A and B are shown apart, each in its own frame.
Chain A
Amino acid sequence: MSLSLPLDAQPADPALDGIIKLAVMAVGGQGGGVLTNWIEGLARSEGYHCQATSVAGVAQRTGATIYYIEMAPGTVAAPVFSLAPSAGDVDIIIAAEMMEAGRAIMRGFVTPDRTTLIASSHRMLAVSEKTVPGDGMASSEEVKAAAELAAHKLVLADMDAAALRVGSVISASLFGALAGSEALPFPREAFEEAIRAGGKGVEASLRAFAAGYELAKNGEPEKAAPLRPAKAEIVAPSGPKGSRDAYSSLEARIASLPEPCREMARAGLQKVVDFQDCAYGGDYLDRLEALAAKDSVDRHFKLTREAAKYIANAMAYDDVIRVADLKTRPQRFRRIEAEMKLADGNLLQLTDYLHPRAEEIIGLLPATLGVKLDADPVWRARIDRWFNRGRRIRSDSLRGFLMLYVLGGLRGWRLKTLRHRMEQAHLDDWLKMVSGYLPDRYGMAVEILKCRRLIKGYSDTHARGLTKFDKVLAGARLVEGRDDGPDWVARLREAALKDEKGADLDGALKTVESFAGAG
């Protein structure tokens, strides 16, 4: 039987403070194993005891994964290390992605009393973020705010970009950041020696190491403020003089719009003129000015701003002509060459994946003929047979380019087409609904404008967008008389953007019907 001992008879072993506990939180495939090997090699070469573990297996297939390392000075006799990190008991966390940093904080591995958090601020989106029809991206800002509170010391920078810039991968820049953070009691040279001992891609890794080291020491340089608005004001479009003059007079009309809307109106005007021509741009401004006339300063010109955005999007719809036009522009070729890092002497072969359906072909026909053929099942089937198949077009070849070039040149024809007539009718109905709410139900008008966001995509996706748009507008009519009507329209719209099939929207509509339908 042991005797009763005084409370402080068991002071913690001071050597325990010598154990360094380090976890790497990564996404499978990011090279967490390589990083772990370097750290382990480093610790051993510096005379430390070191133990590393990982959970290999399916986790390496793009899932969240974790590597764990413990080390202690070689003077300690046979230390016993743990094989897994514990909440509140980690000295260094290396997170190879922003949300993995968030996961480390969530799991309690980052604590203000001791943890150095070295994290890359870049994002690798999870599937759940990407599949949302709207914007489902998680907030890096929230994680950053939490990291600032949770970490004893925080090193946060885009380590992925830093590595890519010098032709390497993130494991090397993170290793550099670990060195730069000075969380380990080893000199920079020892880190670099560990990379050399690894023997693979040494030079590129050392470059990324240096970049990461630099980021940990001095942080990321402040990003220059975007130049875009200023530039857009100064740089006039190039082109034939007649068009340039016509455009200047359109620009003059923008100057008479309320100041808070001008930037958006200018972007909108450029979009529709680019889509068609200056006359079409004039139509755009006509529509916009009609709404602006009913707007006021005490509403902060919200209506005009939204109208500038969504009328432009509605007028510059996605038809075959626009797609072909965009695909044959020199800017596109230049962008792709840059994206593919085309070096001197390399060639680029470009294959576009197109799949026109009967609807697209009929939409290109003159309105009256188009309506007729569209109503005739024999003709529809015939056109479908002729055109409806997947086409791989080599747009870098003369044949392929010419085909798209000719299609893209049909802009003069566009205003006569069936598709244009349909788009105009839809646009007019929508704007009529918006105007109907003015001046008394200003909030409703703004929200109905914003619903245009629901219409996007091509073929079935486009049709689904239209259906959602119609449903939300039908829901809007149910609540148009209520004070919280605009809020409900916003809620319906958000729901419609959440999932593909519209289950969330249908649920929200049911709620609306339950209180508004009866009344």
Chain B
Amino acid sequence: MRDTLSLLFYLMRLRVRTRLEFRAALLITWLAQAFGYAGIFASIWLILTRFGTIGGWTWPQMAFLLGFHTLGYALGACFTLVQLRRMEDIVLGGEFDTLLVRPLNPWAYLVFSGFNIEYGGHIALGAGLVAWAWPQLSIAWTTDTCLLLAGGLVSAALITASMITIIAACALVLGRARYLFGIYFDFWELSRYPASIFAAPFQVALLSIIPLGYMAYVPVAVLLGRPVPYLGAFAEIAALSAGPLSAVAAFFFWRFCLKRYQGGGG
């Protein structure tokens, strides 16, 4: 176990060192991605400057929500997105067969050997928004709030990694999965807004079968002391447990698909 972990850590280090060879390009990528997100967030700020609130959420509250969402996503996506988004190519090109004969779990190899440090812009923007909004929202620095903030971010990262893993696993059975990422990102965009502004069926979906509502809305609503539809007093525990539960579901789904994998290369 220790050897496996040190090997995975070594693969991560190799990847980081490779990416750091082109530091200027990496810095430009961070700036560009932060700029791209800032443009979208600026549109939301423009609505709030004119209308005051969106579903009762003010700009500092929305900024906190957007920052939390971006941060949680980046922490999960740096381990999974770029690596597993090309799962379709890996399967159809026969590369997955070569991973199966290596003395290492193929998921772990893909995830750690492709560890992506291009999310620096996301992290800086997300952390910046959270740091800017926190003092304006009068959220007390207590052990409970700090644990919920940290635990909620870990949970959000796990939800991101789990959903990406589940979509990638579909490629093992279906051969194609890239278009599913499109659907994932459409719902992911919904999850950057308060779920309470959507129609009831979408609220239920975001809090159950597509658990993206737990990425930011539920933990942030609990931190802000806002009521969470359908969850009520269970919102806090749900926010913290959604990530680990998603990870368990992703683990079993990956194994389920792997058992049914029959080779996709030609």
Q: Do A and B originate from a single complex?
A: no
**Residues of B near any A CB (own CB < 8 A):** none
